[in-house]
Structure 1
Amino acid sequence: MGNDVLLRMDERRARAAGIDVTRVEAEAGTTQTMLPGTVVVPPQQLRIVAAPAAGLVEAVLVAPNEAVRAGEPIARLRSTDLLEAQRTYLQALSAEELARQRLRRDEQMFKERIIAERRLLTTRADYDFARTTLQEREQMLALLGMAEPDIGELRESRRMVAALTVTAPVDGVVLETKASAGERVPASDPLFSIAQLKPLWVNLQVPLPQAMVIEPGTRMSVPGTTAQGEVVRLGRLVDPTTQSVTAVVEVSDGAEALRPGQVVNASVALRPNGAPQWRVPAGAVVRHAGKSWVFVRTAEGFRAKPVTVIAETPNATSIRAGLAPDDQVASRGILTLLAELTDVYGG
């Protein structure tokens, strides 16, 4: 009987405890259950665009829900940090050019045996330091948001600019603008959130009794829309308030019918696993020791049997279990049987 637990109880005692029994009803196999869920953007598809430097937001060039392309200007930022970074870059550029000229001169003088090798080595080390400093200053400009063509223009013209253009890092949709024109922002302050909206995720809240029949590959659809997908991951952490776990469904087909933050009731297609499926009164199923149980009437009393809950309504519960068509389960007086189960089974 596997994990079945025999609870010995004669007819007189069962009547005194107010225990009623109901015959189980065979089901053809309920393959759909409704579960609540929330639409979210997969974290790898969400980008937060931050201010590359402290400064004044001159202009916001995009609006929420607007589609953008990678590299498209989305804001202009005036920054004294940018001016300072350009100044130190130009200083490093001049120092590198001077060190390069000195190295070229000393190399020629060494060939002509005018200077010692030690002086050439010193000059070469000075040039390497100047070149490394220039590369560092150039990388700082890139971190502040200056594009490579703009850095090239600065190198050629030696003319500094006070504003920089913030661009979209990826193709996507602007979900939120977090700053407005005229606002002063510190470095790394969020300016925009941009997301790629296909595919999307639906985080389903799966009650523990049903978690046993949800697995990766289980299909899901949202009634009234074209959205459908399949479970890619079933969480291990149980919410202590709702006693549910999260099943993550990836939706590619019909993702445009969903919006991040939307609450949906999803229809989940349960795969048959070969176990018979039955319909019992809602009160016939109890939770104990991390399992769902029904109490099957026997000649000796009742047999507590672990079952897998498929779907629940206020009046009935669909379960999968090794039952027979003429089996009867307790539908009232369950607390007495649950107390007996606790004494025998523990947990």
Structure 2
Amino acid sequence: MSIAERKRIAGWIVLLSLSMACAGTEPGSAPSDAGTAHHPAPDRERSAGGEPRRGEGVVELTAAAAARAGIRTAPAVERVLPAQLQTTGQVDFDQTRLAHVSPRISGRVHRVYAGLGEDVRAGQKLAEIDSIELGQAKAAYLQAKAKEELARKSFERAQGLFADRIASEQEVIEAEAVLREAVAALHTAGETLHLYGLSREQVDALSYDDRAASIYPLRAPFAATVVERHATLGELVTPERNLFTLADLGRVWIWIDVYQRDLGSVHLGDRARARVDAFPGEDFAGEISYLSARVDAATRTLRARLDVANPEGKLRPGMFVEVELVDPHVQGGGEAQAASLVVPESAVARDGEARFVFVAAGAHRYERRDVAVGRRTEGFVEVSGDLRAGEPVVVEGAFLLKSAMAEESLGGGHGH
């Protein structure tokens, strides 16, 4: 066989091998059916009844997975809910627990101790003011005190001399007048220091060797948070100058506007719930403590105020809030209210803007039902949609079901 023939045969073998590889066969093996592509059959688990274990909006767990999830259900029920009013408002400081701290005397800022946002105790030193005026007032008090002591001794001596018939009665009267004048001057000097904020104990303890006689301490009137600070080291300040603003944020006010048509549903003492976007799902309870006596002529609304406890300081003045007012006065009187379908708040899950619940539809089988939510009261929320009273909704373990459904939508496996 010539070399050319050998090359030609080798080329045929290569072409034959490439053709068989494209057809999905090995040399020497049986070819597949012509024109048929091989695709593995879909691996879809089925329940005992032959239905798919999971479909759109349906999740079915194995007994073991359900036990691990700790799923618990509660029935949807019908209840008569208290009459409620929805409005909006804004958080403000409790003005009864707000203080503008200013010096009682002019001087220069000597030291600043409190910082912006710092929590301070009642009586805690915020700053020190170096005041020439205070130093002069203390010196005047000490001088008046010395004159009073001298006048008292002179009066007592005159009384003794008069008793021994050495001094005349006129001398005693004159000594007594000088003493009265000295006592009055001492009292005036002491009251001046009291006006500057010194206590009686601090005034009594004054001495000539006090090197800090001109230092005036600026103290917090109550336990609060420093919400404003305007004290600058070395700056000249006067009593008109506000150096610190302190606020007790443990309780805040919420101002709301009530429309004229709703005034009959709003009363002093009515309960209210406030919600803010910063803390979704969390309610802040309060009650109406003030109703304005005047309706705004332009907006036809009335100003009302809520007192709201804020122990963790989550509500900040200036926050926009949604408020739900509860009117207890309609209970037990008037026309009977229609019952509403409610579920525990923990049963409602979110999918973007949508709200839904999972309904138990068999052994470890759960269906998603989209609902619209309404009023909330005492841990329950009003719902409407594809749900009937008595149907069991998932109140614990809904997160696992939601995760399983999300896995299905992404094409995940059947491992539940």
Separation (CA, whole Å) in 1 of partners of 2:166 and 2:110: 58
Report 1:3-152 matches (<5 A).
31-146=83-198, 148=200, 150-152=202-204
Q: CA separation in 2, counterparts of 1:157 and 1:181? A: 26
Q: Whole-Å Cα distance in 2 between the matches of residues 167 and 111 of structure 1?
A: 53
Q: 1:168, 1:219 → 2: CA distance? A: 33
Structure-2 residue corresponding to 1:200: 252
- Show CA shifts across 1:288-323 (max 9, x none): xxxxxxxxxxxxxxxxxxxxxxx9xxxxxxxxxxxx
> For residue 251 of structure 1, what is the amino acid of its counterpart?
V
Q: Secondary structure at the match of 1:212?
A: helix
Give a deviation string over 1:133-165, Cα, whole Å, max 9, x none. Answer: 212212222322445555344236465623222
Give the aligned residue type for 2:326. A
Q: What letter matches 1:203 in structure 2?
A: W
CA distance in structure 2 between the aligned counterparts of 1:178 and 1:158, rounded to whole angstroms: 29
Q: Deviation per CA, 1:160-208, whole angstroms, max 9, x where unpaired?
A: 6232221112121112112222221123321111122233221221111
Separation in 1, partners of 2:163, 2:319? 75
Partner of 1:227: 284
What letter is aligned with 2:94? P
Distance 1:121 1:213, change over 3 A: farther
Aligned partner of 1:210 among 257, 262, 272: 262
For 2:248, the aligned partner's letter is Q
**Is 1:241 equivalent to 2:293 in the alignment?**
no
Pairing 1:166-177 to 2, within 5 Å after superposition: 166-177=218-229
Q: Which stretches in structure 2 are left out of the alignment for 5+ residues? A: 1-78, 276-280, 339-374, 376-416
Gaps of 5+ in 1: 1-26, 280-310, 312-347
Q: 3-state DSSP class of the match of 1:180?
A: coil
- 1:185 match: 237
SS in 1 for 2:244: strand
Q: Distance in 2 between matches of 1:226 and 1:152?
A: 53
Give the conservation status (yes or no) of the 8 Å contact 1:227–1:257. Answer: no
| Larger proportion of strand | 1
Looking at structure 1, the residues matched to 311 and 206 of structure 2 have their Cα atoms a distance apart, in angstroms, of 47
Name the CA distance, whole Å, in 2 between partners of 1:179 and 1:255.
28
Secondary structure, in 3 states, of the residue corresponding to 2:144?
helix
Where 2:313 maps in the other structure, the secondary structure is helix
Structure with higher RCO (Cα < 8 A, 6+ apart): 1
Aligned to 1:275: 334
What is the CA distance between 1:47 and its match in structure 2?
Answer: 1.6
Tell me if the contact between 2:133 and 2:214 (Cα under 8 Å) persists in the aligned partners.
no
| Contact 1:199/1:255 (<8 A) preserved | no
Q: Structure 1 residue 219: deviation in Å?
A: 0.5
Shift of 1:265: 1.5
Contact 2:142/2:208 (CA < 8 Å) preserved in 1? Answer: no
TM superposition shift of 1:228: 0.7
Work out whether residues 251 and 308 of structure 2, in 8 Å CA contact, stay in contact via their aligned partners in 1: yes
More displaced, 61-70 or 225-234?
225-234
- Alpha-carbon distance in structure 2 between the residues aligned to 1:226 and 1:60: 39
Native 8 Å contact 1:53 1:188 kept in 2: no
Q: Is the 8 A contact 2:106 2:239 kept in 1?
A: yes
1:164 corresponds to 2:216: yes
The residue aligned with 2:411 is: none
Whole-angstrom CA distance in 2 between matches of 1:179 and 1:253:
28
**TM-score w.r.t. structure 2 length?**
0.55
In the TM superposition, residue 77 of structure 1 has moved relative to its aligned partner by 0.9
- Partner-residue secondary structure (3-state), 2:282: coil
Amino acid at match of 2:86: M
Larger radius of gyration: 2
Say what the alpha-carbon RMSD is for the aligned residues. 2.7
Which residue identity does 2:294 align to in structure 1?
A: L
Q: Give the C-alpha shift of residue 61 in structure 1.
A: 0.8
3-state SS, counterpart of residue 226 of structure 2: strand
Greater CA drift, 122-131 or 213-222: 122-131
Contact 2:155 2:179 in 1 (8 A): yes
Judge conservation of contact 1:63–1:174 (CA < 8 Å) in 2.
Answer: yes
CA shift at 1:68, angstroms?
Answer: 0.9
For these two proteins, the number of residue pairs brought into alignment is 254
**Distance across 2 between alignment mates of 1:44 and 1:124:** 50
Contact 1:106 1:115 in 2 (8 A): yes
